[in-house]
Amino acid sequence: MAQWRSTAEFRFKKKHGKQSSYHCTSVSVGDNWIKIPKCKPIRAKVHREIVGKVKSITLSRTLTGKYFASILADDTQEQPKQIDNLEANQVVGVDMGITDLAITSTGHKTGNPRFLKKAQRNLKRKQQALSRCKKGSKGRHKARLLVAKAHERVAFARNDFQHKLSKQLIDENQAVIVETLKVKNMLKNKRLARSIADAGWHSLITKLEYKAKQEGKHLVKIDQWFASSKTCSVCDLKQEKMPLRIRSWECSCGAIHDRDINAARNIKKQGILKLKAEGLSVSADGGLRKSGRLSVAA
């Protein structure tokens, strides 16, 4: 007997969604063109020299009607080996936040640009104009493109900022330690959901991960249940409660902590323990840098 699935199990591809196609045979790239099977050479702006043998090409079309080609090539170069002997002053702990996007164990704070919040009024105006348009009309199609372009500008600005920040962190350190964040669960907080989504913690950690792999460096994710904010980084005494409104606090040992910097230092300590447990050598700390604010151009 034939078994039928409910309609809820089927996922239909949206007409106006992102479209993509993958090609791994009969593909080639020139100075200003790409070639895929059953098509004549397609004019393209190749912004980077392709080194090695082209293995595949993925074509994609964005919601705004722009076409991109992602090219995979084998350059025959071996991936750099990961560093085995690390220096503690070249290991940095990073605490993710909302007011400040990234707080390091050296005391540097990178402010959160809040790209979505800055574009909120413009997005609201365009989305209201879209909702007033009749479905299926040319006016609605134009209004939809304006909304898509506004969202695209926000995404591009956030990606650009995160690429620069992640590269700076990887270039300056041999290992970067971060928390394991369950962003999907955190988005259930109605008051902070929009701010958390705007921060883009997951995409920043993803960029850190592949950049570290390319450079032969380490990205370490510590346990999500580790109480980095409630633990004193000097005496390791854990406080019973630490609500979000408390931004600085004093431990019974006399140490006065900035909540976020203290959390980053605890994250670094846990990361070093994890690196040593994996059999890596971490030398003694050569001292901390002076605290300040790290400025990254968006």
Please answer whether residues 200 and 162 qualify as being in contact, where contact means their C-beta atoms are separated by less than 8 angstroms.
Answer: yes
Among this protein's residues, is 95 annotated catalytic?
Answer: yes
Q: Considering 31, 209, 260, 285, which one is annotated as catalytic?
A: 260
Instruction: Render the burial of 6-26: b for 16+ CB within 10 Å, e for the rest.
Output: eeeeeeeeeeeeeeeeebeee
Structure tokens at 186: 């955190």
| CB distance 36 to 42 below 8 Å | yes
φ, ψ (nearest 5 deg) of residue 202: -60, -45
Collapsed DSSP state (helix, strand, coil) of residue 256: strand
To which residue do tokens 């493109």 refer? Answer: 145
Residue of 179, 209, 215, 223 marked active site: 179
Query: Rounded CA gap, 186 and 226, in Å?
Result: 16
Q: Is 171 a catalytic residue?
A: no
- Compute CA distances 50 → 47, 69, 71, 76, whole Å: 9, 12, 8, 13
179 catalytic per annotation: yes
The active-site residue out of 95, 209, 236, 258 is 95
> In 3D, which of 293, 218, 220, 211 has the Cα closest to residue 260?
293
Give catalytic residues, as residue numbers.
Answer: 95, 179, 260
